[in-house]
A and B are shown apart, each in its own frame.
Chain A
């Protein structure tokens, strides 16, 4: 390492991200000057300001934490915000607001936990229960709202909220605590030690099937298996879990028509290009049209000449297609490399952490981030059946953004502790 301190390194990276954000907004402005206003350029300045606040919060609470995660997050949110802005300036305003709230939540998480986040471990069962409650909320009759066939939302007055995003984080904290405590006995493979795990797990899966949210189901199960593997180092558990999952998936496939549709479309979308597969097929066309260099930010085609959107849910589930269309292979590969960097840094933090809880926590959070990225982008690219979940930090949506800021805070907390000079 050079003479720069971690936080100064972070600041330097943020300046680069700020410049890139400015260029992004400027290019949207140039391409769409007739429909967007010059004040869009102030977005970039505002955005840099928000991240400087996040930086100061990190400087005060976690001075030794990894210096790359915050700038990478800044970059990903900037890319998302720019693309959302290009698609719909009003949505971008709301998303900008969510970034501000997200940074506030990030700072609050750091402020509350920076002395010792490990005390969370003593509350693991409360946290696990909290996760379950959050998962059940949307299934409740009055609060729950069904959006696009999945019952994931809680509505209170004008506000809508996806509690599952936070349940994911709480679940990881619970699993980290529980697995740290039981890892030796679990590794011996005695069935009764799996009891509480399977119980809490069965409950979560049942809720997921009930709410029709399969993307999250896959995500949770993947996180569970990954953390179990890290805790026990036994692949046989992973294999057993996969078998369980496949059996469960086969069952769900039999009983939920929505899942059958998704699988049919995944295997061969072309005969359904006018109906069920329209969205997926047009999204693939949009990606293909981008080619190597893309159309350029703000110059893509997402609407008919009359202004009707050609791809529904473009700024949430399909934002990857919009980005691939406008940035091309060169740009989108760079974006995916940023995700890889984030994941690599996350796992590095897990390796450097000194205690089991911290290792499990960092590995769980990082894997959750990676797997979520894979599930949504893989779905859009037809690698796996499509399920509607968000692309971390990039998709439009408040709940997801806030939860990911908490995830980032968690990684920085673990990293700070691991890197702090001992004495």
Chain B
């Protein structure tokens, strides 16, 4: 029998050996992936023993996220507090036990908990663990300007919409305000309250970051992209003339200007942008076809996930959409290029994307990568990482950018965007109004940058459910935010 017994013994030992192999798989191989999963309640609760890093606005003093230590069952646990409440809720997000994490609290979790794979951080946290002291995470300093952020939220008021402001020369995100906002302190214990937040639109969805995940129709602000494509094609320059009958003929149908009662007659391309004449852009679109416009869009960052440090699922791709998915038309049979050219087709864009458009024009055609994290600092005050300005590409020649700028400047000086004027500051802008056909349901937009010549701010304001135009609704908000940003920076 001993032969059979020894074979059985080998089998039994192999069974237990398999347990060692399987345990090794879960604890060594699969562990990093499992620890990152959103449904991981163990890790989520365990992280409360870590003193998460604090999150500051650009001044390094305004605390956006901090901790309150509390003794629970013999352990010191660190509960998250957001002293500025809704000020930057959509960027910072929240870290909770029952609702998991969102925003930078989610995407920067490794830095904030000190588990980033940076050698000195790993050594520090391991030492902390061995010493039995608690682990301290790294602090994060953002590029957001707290004062301007406050001004943006105040200007938005009860309206649904978003404001995004960038430093066009570096890509620093100065303002990212989404309205309605919410108080992240309520997520853990009073979630229902957050869902009840009301605002002037049908689906207020306070948790949605409209700045990066809202689906707005750009309306005439998109003409800046079409204009860039037109100039880059070499077929036209700013003094090329067009004749405006008040409408544009497409597939036998008339596409009207915003104001059909008085056609402009013969106009230059410069004037067409200044007065936002649909028929001119419609004809440019028909002549160019969708190809060059889509290719220009891609240069501006459309059709790819907008680069920012927030979680990927909180950032929406801008572009043409078909059945809920981004869609790239190959020829005129798949999209109406005339309507695309003035931003009235199935275009869905985010305010961040439109701010990138303004920023690229402002920065002589060079698009900078937008970023919101300025630096990460260890508990020992050492800088762990610092974000460097990075160019994403040249979207148009600097000469063409200057031409577009001059037309945009006339929009604010004596065109559709006069409401954005600030005495003593040269501002370039473009208005947009996307009509839904239902009164009070327009989507309005304004993008701008200032001061012309040495721009420090590029901004996009987009609003839902408006009865006015971009010039009357969005431009005044842009003015208030620009004032807050320029006042701070010129002193």
Contacts and interface: CB of A to CB of B under 8 A. Distances in A.
A233 B42 contact: no
A332 B34 CA distance: 19
Contact of A284 (B3, B9, B16, B34): B34
A116 interface: no
B41 to A, nearest CB: 5
A175 to B, nearest CB: 14
Interface string B20-60: 10111011101100110101111101101100000000000
A378 interface: yes
Contact of A291 (B6, B28, B40): B28
B117 interface: no
A230 B28 contact: no
Residue from the set A289, A344, A356, A378 with the largest chain B CB neighbour count within 10 Å: A289
A350 interface: yes
A272 to B, nearest CB: 11
Contacts, number: 154
Interface residues of B, number: 42
Contact of B43 (A34, A289, A340, A350): A289
B29 to A, nearest CB: 9
A291 B8 contact: no
B3 A33 contact: no
Contacts of B31: 288-289, 291
Nearest to A226: B8
Contacts of B393: none
A359 B1 CA distance: 8
Interface stretch (A77-85, A118-126, A364-372, A410-418): A364-372
B34 to A, nearest CB: 4
B437 interface: no
A383 B19 contact: yes
B487 interface: no
A202 to B, nearest CB: 24
B50 to A, nearest CB: 11
B74 interface: yes
Main secondary structure of the interface of B (DSSP, over half): helix
A35 interface: yes
Nearest to A36: B74
B28 A350 contact: no
Interface in A267-299: 273-274, 281-282, 284-292, 295
B5 A350 contact: yes
A333 interface: yes
A378 B74 contact: no
Interface residues of A, number: 61
B123 interface: no
Contacts of B71: 34
A359 B48 CA distance: 54
A162 B333 CA distance: 74
A347 B43 contact: no
Contact of B22 (A273, A356, A381): A381
B389 interface: no
Contact of A347 (B6, B30, B37): B6
Given A32-B74, A301-B42, A310-B41, A336 B30 contact: no
A370 B9 CA distance: 9
Contact of B1 (A231, A274, A291): A231
A49 to B, nearest CB: 29
Contacts of A359: 1-2, 5
Interface of A: 32-35, 226, 229-231, 233, 273-274, 281-282, 284-292, 295, 300-305, 307, 310, 324-325, 328-329, 332-333, 336-337, 339-340, 343-344, 347, 350-351, 356, 359-360, 363, 366-367, 370-371, 373-374, 377-378, 381-383
Given A284-B34, A300-B46, A371-B12, 20 more contacts: A33-B74, A233-B1, A288-B31, A291-B27, A292-B27, A304-B41, A304-B45, A305-B97, A324-B27, A336-B19, A336-B23, A339-B16, A340-B13, A340-B16, A363-B8, A370-B12, A370-B13, A370-B16, A374-B16, A377-B19
Top 6 nearest A-B pairs by Cβ distance? Answer: A34-B74, A347-B9, A370-B12, A301-B46, A288-B34, A288-B31
